[in-house]
Amino acid sequence: MTFFAVFLFVAFAVVALTSLGSRVFRRYGEIRTGTAIFWGVSLAWLANLNMWTSWHITNLRYGWVGVTLTGIALAGTALVLHAAAGTMSSLYRKLEDEAEQIERTELRRVA
């Protein structure tokens, strides 16, 4: 259970770092996936996270494969978390009817 919590916290870190990277490179819309994989694998190697040894599956031939696949899983989880946060954000804007509020406040100043 503790590994799952650590995994989610590192995935949230990947989301934050990926968001920072996408703000720097605004022109490239497809860079989010590559940036997430880079940060996921980098943080997994830095923290030496390995899902399989944490779940007591020790029959991997090479240890680096487990760490790298954990990084890719971190990247995938980060992309799912980012999409879920975007869905919640758009749902909030829809429910609060942000466009109508902007029209009421900003159009009166212009006219």
Q: Give tens-digit pLDDT for 63-101.
A: 788 889 999 999 999 999 999 988 888 777 677 676 676
Domain boundaries, the chain: 2-79
Q: What's CA 74's distance to the chain center, in Å?
A: 8
- Report pLDDT digits (tens) over 96-106: 676 676 667 76
SS (H, E, C) 10-61: HHHHHHHHHHHHHHHCCCCCCHHHHHHHHHHHHHHHHHCCCHHHHCCCCCCC
Which position has the higher pLDDT, 109 or 95?
A: 95
